[in-house]
Amino acid sequence: MFEWLGENWWALWLTVFLAFAVVEMLTLDLFFIMLGGGALAGLIADFAGADFWLQIVVFSVVSLLMIAFVRPVALKHLRKGPAEQRTNVDRLIGQSALVMEAVSGTGGLVKIGGDVWSARSTGGLIEAGETVEVTKIDGATAVVASTSDNSPR
């Protein structure tokens, strides 16, 4: 078996690529797919007739270059998009909220949509009944700022 593997390094590179692809499908962070690209480069180097040590060098160099240059660009393009595509609590940022219980820098309650959230203000005290804007979500607390239109909803 080892003799066959010594003559067919392409099988090792293909297996390494497939393993990285499976791990990437589980993690979805675009790191292991870059290593998979390096494994494909090692596979191509094997088909080109390179020695195994050179295949390892090609794998390492291509993987590092992809992690350093391709991954940041891919992540930037993956994360860009309109605000409507934000998910989970990120969608709440920029929404208006109704102050249910006076909000200060240390605490209070606001109603965002149909849910009541604990809140704290970025400015001074905001009285109950005023409309505020959600500027940030910090854990389970909405950080809110007073809006120019403080009429109740």
Which domains can be identified in the chain, with CATH numbers?
Answer: 2-79 (no CATH), 91-146 (2.40.50.140)
Express each pLDDT in 91-104 by its tens digit.
888 899 999 999 99
- Give 35 or 90, the one with higher predicted confidence: 35
Phi first, then psi: give them for residue 122, nearest 5 degrees.
-85, -20
Please state the pTM of the whole predicted model. 0.54
Q: pLDDT at position 82, please?
A: 65
How much is the mean pLDDT over the chain?
A: 88
3-state secondary structure of 16: helix
Q: How much is the average pLDDT of 52-74?
A: 96
SS3 64: helix
Look up residue 30 and give its two tokens.
């675009």
122 closest CA partner among 144, 94, 147: 144
Mean pLDDT of 102-117: 92
How confident is the model over 32-61, as pLDDT tens digits?
A: 999 999 999 999 999 999 999 999 999 999
